[in-house]
Structure 1
């Protein structure tokens, strides 16, 4: 695949000016920031993160209001990292189409990453006893049918070639954002010691996309890369030598690539419904990888959003703020 080029939000056919991110030879995170400072004045970009919502009729009513408040905060985009319904709710076309309407009504570009509640769990009787792969293909036809985001304003995306259009990447400022299809429930490994056929088909594609985008970020000397996916992959258990089967390879690659990357690495997920920002990834010696940050979104029954701020004057590049909803709620 040819390298992804710098991308900006667009409205209709008119795109914002592109920025050249070719910085030359990689010189480490601190030096990269110094180089940025010499090339241009410090700049900031903002984005919003949500997930595991709406799960109830109340959240269905509140979500459009929250999206309006997010748009009022002047973010570049909002990302929903999966689980767009309650785990016991049916996976019917009407529900998917309703969520598409909500997301498309967003006044800022809207990026959606799939969660287990809307495909791998759809074989449950309470969900309608659907075929999970049939439901995933329905999601693809609704949410990832072209190279643009959802929302009233569109963000141009580059999708991974092949059969997984939910895998995409785009740039905001100096940061490469990458989406991955990693559902909760042990990454759809299955209920036995042998991985499911679906996992065996998808996992190599996920790993290849992860590696390719680290390579792209290194090649273009980008100071930051952010991965967006649904599942909590079990960082704590992995660091204790007790990895979950469905995430062992993923976390091994993520650890090794992060250790070699001179910039900031962000992983955004949901799944366990606990809003938090921490540094749970460790190297093989057990030391915290200080350039890695995990951001978990709010999740039912707690509603809210997380604002990410890219700041080229900040040596850490990123900072985050949590915003419970309704605003002012403790």
Structure 2
């Protein structure tokens, strides 16, 4: 078993090359800590502050960090030099760093202000730079299970009793496009996303895990979905999440960014409009409000998932 540090090595079990390691024996009140960030750095100030925040996160006892995408401002260029800067920044993390792609670094890169890049070319560059190996970024590496060579950004790993999966679901309606019919890229990627979600729930059921967590960039429009007006690019995902959540005995968490509103709630509803009690959404901080969220996983209470918001820079106590 790969060990990233003494505590992390004891409690984390990763999926590796097609099989999950056995669930460890857990103390009743054990707690796991995962740091969540997204939509940063967007400005020169955030770029200067982010290394300090990453150090504070490592000092907090978090055993893993997840960035849910948008690693630059939407108006900035998608150049290789910026990608390399972010790779070096994330690799400097003292704890394993898992990066999920956002629209600002690939699907929106055709904007003239972004350099007029072909979005798929930029996604290919990200895949080569960030997800070429079956492991996380960071000075300590976490083994990851990749969905395939074609979609290496879809990863899976396990933290205690929870199976995590990353999904390439960008903001801007999931790269559906401007027409009534979806773009070719969406039509090819979305079935892979849905298959990864189904497979993750299947593994969680087989292993009798307490929870499943998905990390992605887009806010998929839970409110509009509940009102019967789903966004075309997210409709199938939300229908699948609703069905799987209703048929899962544990708890389900979706972590996303995109709309830059730090919050925790239960926005997924059944067909009758009743909130699904075993479904939780955490949205990360986002520009211009910098910060991070600590996810705590506990087995000693009615709720598996807990969270603590940490604005940055830290507010001075009176």
**What TM-score comes out, normalization by structure 1 length?**
0.90
Task: Give the unaligned 5+ runs of structure 2.
Answer: 14-20
Aligned to 2:255: 268
Query: Displacement, 1:285?
Result: 1.2
In 2, are the aligned partners of 1:9 and 1:156 still within 8 Å (CA)? no
C-alpha deviations, 1:140-166, integer Å up to 9, x for none?
Answer: 111001011000001110110241000
Aligned to 1:195: 182
Number of residue pairs matched by the alignment:
308
Aligned to 1:230: 217
C-alpha deviations, 1:48-99, integer Å up to 9, x for none?
Answer: 0000000000000000000000000011100000000000000000000000
Aligned to 1:49: 36
2:277 is equivalent to residue 290 of structure 1: yes
Picking from 170, 173, 177, the partner of 2:160 is 173
Picking from 264, 275, 278, the partner of 1:277 is 264
- CA distance in structure 1 between the aligned counterparts of 2:132 and 2:259, rounded to whole angstroms: 29
Aligned to 1:76: 63
In 1, are the aligned partners of 2:40 and 2:72 still within 8 Å (CA)? yes
- Pairs within 5 Å for 1:157-168: 157-168=144-155
- CA distance in structure 2 between the aligned counterparts of 1:311 and 1:118, rounded to whole angstroms: 34
Query: Displacement, 1:8?
Result: 6.1
C-alpha deviations, 1:182-204, integer Å up to 9, x for none?
Answer: 00000000001010000000000
In 2, are the aligned partners of 1:9 and 1:76 still within 8 Å (CA)? no
Query: Displacement, 1:315?
Result: 2.1
Query: Displacement, 1:16?
Result: 4.7
SS at match of 1:246: coil
Find runs of 4+ consecutive structure 1 residues off by over 3 angstroms: 14-23
2:203 is equivalent to residue 216 of structure 1: yes
Query: Displacement, 1:10?
Result: 2.6
- CA distance in structure 1 between the aligned counterparts of 2:11 and 2:273, rounded to whole angstroms: 44
C-alpha deviations, 1:77-130, integer Å up to 9, x for none?
Answer: 000000000000000000000000000000000000000000000000000000
- CA distance in structure 2 between the aligned counterparts of 1:17 and 1:234, rounded to whole angstroms: 34
2:235 is equivalent to residue 248 of structure 1: yes
Query: Displacement, 1:40?
Result: 3.8
Task: Give the unaligned 5+ runs of structure 1.
Answer: 1-6, 24-35
Query: Displacement, 1:318?
Result: 1.1
